[in-house]
Structure 1
């Protein structure tokens, strides 16, 4: 086998984590849309799609390695927020938690001398740098805008042109 049973189980759990992140980001996008924060909604919706894609990468790896992906039940996302700042903080916290989860997978693959899965996980390590940096940046922009989140919207519209 290209991947041990122990690491397969851990990858299956990660599929659940990634799908939970997908749902959480979509819930944040829904909140932003409801609050007429359309640029933020687009960003968080795009992030939701990326999280689903991450889950599918783990799914495909397991299939390619001759294992059966088992999609676990996922936690219900938080749907209500007091502010965009609170939603952005939750997004950053989720990315930091995901980074720790990926580190744990790397450690498990390293301990088991499972080099093919370890190579696969390298992409996720680089991705987490980008994900955390983006989440921190969004949070900082929202924090600097203070109570005027509409300034964030104007900034984001300008930034994407």
Structure 2
């Protein structure tokens, strides 16, 4: 849970970033009013009438990774959709489930524990694990509702 209650007049960046509550911590306070910084202007919102409901999320099969069509499919899906699903990647489902479980456990930690891993407190190269909220991105007019963790690894070591 979050380390404190968020009130409408509080500094959202202080609550989310400096106190390391993250966006999940903000949501966990059971907000009654969404902060203005988190509301996208109507003219910039997705026009639902332009969505083709017949199209599905692109699925990319990596079983033939060396095929140039795989690279083309990734580029097309990334540019058109911004995301895609990968199948036949060779990662056991148990590993993926363990990864999701670990992420859930991390975001359930108290803010005092998560702050140790916040990207503003970790020097580059010091840690292979860090946490941040997109809400702190520079020059954003509208703050995104996204907390992230990054865990790097070097299988050669």
Considering only CA atoms, is the larger Rg found in Structure 1 or Structure 2? 2
TM-score (structure 2 length as normaliser): 0.24
Between Structure 1 and Structure 2, which shows a larger proportion of strand residues? 2
Comparing both structures, which one devotes a greater share of its residues to helix? 1
